[in-house]
Amino acid sequence: MIAIIDYDAGNIKSVEKAVISLGAETVITRDRETILNADKIILPGVGAFGDAMEKLKAYGLVDLIKQTVADKKPFLGICLGLQLLFESSEEAKGVEGLGILKGRIIHIPDKGLKVPQIGWNSLKFPNKGRLFKGIDEGAYVYFVHSYYLHADEPNIVTATTEYAALIHAAVEKDNVFACQFHPEKSSSVGLRILKNFIDLEVD
């Protein structure tokens, strides 16, 4: 069973719908025992970094998320869910992220392109991770974001894209996976990414 963490962030239902379409059992929840007993965890999200961290704290989810990661359960952050896994964001100066991974979230620079970035961009795989099994380099996925990840550890970056900067679009470290784009909105490529996560073997 896959637990989708509910902390009042947007876009949760579309993630649930995509996971169900792939034949996996899932539940949207913030219940501690349900999350601890799940086989895999998804942290989705659309919204602001600071507000999201406040909600995670208010619902008692910060330590719970860290515990599920320490328990070595496959964990997938999507969009804002990726950003929250890192240490800080320019969107909310002084607000600490979950700090599970090392890096910072930076505003997309003003280089004549529209911000937020809304649309399809192709991926490159500097270190092709398990989420991208069966997916060719150059595949297009769907982004909606004004901020992007610069990870401190280059070896965890599994996908990049270019949009006014080199964007670290996906990461993988041990049992933690995350992507800045929305796999649930990325057609057959995105569904394959989610299927790869669903099919991960749990130790």
Active site positions, annotated: 79, 182, 184
Per DSSP (E only), the strands in the chain are 2-5, 26-29, 40-43, 75-78, 88-89, 103-107, 117-122, 140-145, 147-151, 157-162, 166-173, 176-179
Q: Where are the alpha helices (DSSP H) in 71-163?
A: 80-84
Compute the distance between CA of residue 170 and CA of residue 113 in angstroms, rounded to an integer.
22
Q: What is the largest CA-CA distance in the chain?
A: 48
Compute the distance between CA of residue 58 and CA of residue 166 in angstroms, rounded to an integer.
34
- What is the distance of C-alpha 114 from the center of its chain? 22
